[in-house]
Amino acid sequence: MIALLLRDLRLATRAGGGFGLGLAFFLMVAVLVPLGVGPEAATLSRIAPGILWVGALLACLLSLDRLFALDFEDGSLDLLATAPIPLEGMVAVKGLAHWLVTGLPLTAISPVLGLLMHLAPAGYPWLVLALALGTPALSMIGAFGAALTVGLKRGGLLMSLLVLPMYVPTLIFGADLVTRGAQGQATTTPLLFLAAVTLGSAAVLPFAAAQALRMNLR
């Protein structure tokens, strides 16, 4: 399992592995939205929490695309399925590796993007907290989506379609947490819900994803 984690991290940081690109995409969204919406600080600061969360979500999604697909295409997945690692463990490890490579750095640079979007000063700690709590759920849900669509060429977009609705609760609680934080309102409810979504996903989804993989391998 550790070997798998190390391999995935190594693959990600090797040339062309895509490390940092999730980040870059997050940055893009934070840059493009003002370009589209216009430069007024008031509007931007109003929509900042929502847009940043949508950006984080899309960045996760894009890099998820090939979570299992590459292994499927080159035959590794067949071989891993016959290896002495439980498939559930494999999914969990791959989800973790994905989070380490996208969710974590994303959380780390989010304050800078908050700046670009004119987020209210009180919102910064909440933004970081919300992303740190919520992105693991994004990775796990995404892993499930990736497992469902693994056999399909151009599965990426289909996967987006399957995964995005599942991202809705995380998005709503996450964005709400940041909005309330920025406005200095009570934050306990969205905080608890966000934590619940993440814990639930991490507990249940590896099993569902492993099952989906088994079905796809037949």
Partner 1 sequence: MNLQVVDLAVARGGVAVLAAVNFRLDAGRALILRGPNGLGKTTLLRTVAGLQPPLAGEVRVPEDQMAYAAHADGLKSTLTVAENLGFWASVFGTGSAEAALAAMNLTGLRDRRAADLSAGQKRRLGLARLLVTGRRFWCLDEPTVSLDTASVALFAGVLRAHLAEGGAALIATHIDLGLPEAALLDLTPFRAPLSGPAGAFDEAFS
Partner 2 sequence: MSIWEYANPKKFMQTSAWVLPWITGLAVATLLAGLFWGFFLTPDDYKQGSTVKIIYLHVPSAMMGIGAWFMMLAASLIWLIRRHHVSALAAKAAAPVGTTFTLIGLVTGAIWGEPMWGTWWAWDPRLTSFLILFLFYLGYMALWGAIEDADTAADLTSVLCLVGSVFAFLSRYAVYFWTQGLHQAQSLGVVGGDRVSNVYAAPLLLCIAGFILLFVTLVLLRTRTEIRARRISALLARERRAA
User: Smallest distance from the beta carbon of 162 to partner 2, in angstroms?
Assistant: 4
Query: Is the Cα torsion angle 136, 61, 67, 11 positive or negative in sign?
Result: negative
Contact 206, 140 (CB under 8 A): yes
Question: Half-sphere exposure (CA, 13 Å, Cβ side) for 76?
Answer: 11
Dist CA 146 CA 158 (whole Å): 10
Dist CA 71 CA 69 (whole Å): 5
CA angle 35, 104, 115 (to 5 degrees): 35
User: Smallest distance from the beta carbon of 60 to partner 1, in angstroms?
Assistant: 22
CB-nearer residue toward partner 1: 40 or 73: 73
Chosen residue from 48, 140, 197, 202 binding partner 2 by CB under 8 A: 197
Is 124 an interacting residue with respect to partner 2 (CB under 8 A)? Answer: no
- Residue 154 one-letter amino acid: R
User: Smallest distance from the beta carbon of 17 to a second copy, in angstroms?
Assistant: 6
User: Smallest distance from the beta carbon of 126 to a second copy, in angstroms?
Assistant: 14
CB under 8 A: which stretch of 6-14, 28-36, 58-66, 102-110 binds partner 1? 6-14
193 binds, among a second copy, partner 1, partner 2, none (CB under 5 to 8 A by kind): partner 2
Contact 1, 93 (CB under 8 A): yes
Is 216 an interacting residue with respect to partner 1 (CB under 8 A)? Answer: no
Tell me which residues in 129-148 interact with partner 2 (CB under 8 A). Answer: 141, 144, 148
Token code pair at residue 96? 């973790």
Tell me which residues in 14-43 interact with partner 1 (CB under 8 A). Answer: 14-17
- Nearby residues of 31 by Cβ (< 8 Å), 6 or more positions away: 116
Token code pair at residue 160? 């987006």
Q: Which residue has the tokens 């509007």?
A: 43
CB-nearer residue toward partner 1: 83 or 112: 83
Is 10 an interacting residue with respect to partner 1 (CB under 8 A)? Answer: yes
Chosen residue from 5, 9, 27, 54 binding partner 2 by CB under 8 A: 27
* Positions in the binding site for partner 1 (CB under 8 A): 2-4, 7, 10-11, 14-17, 71, 73-85, 153, 217-218
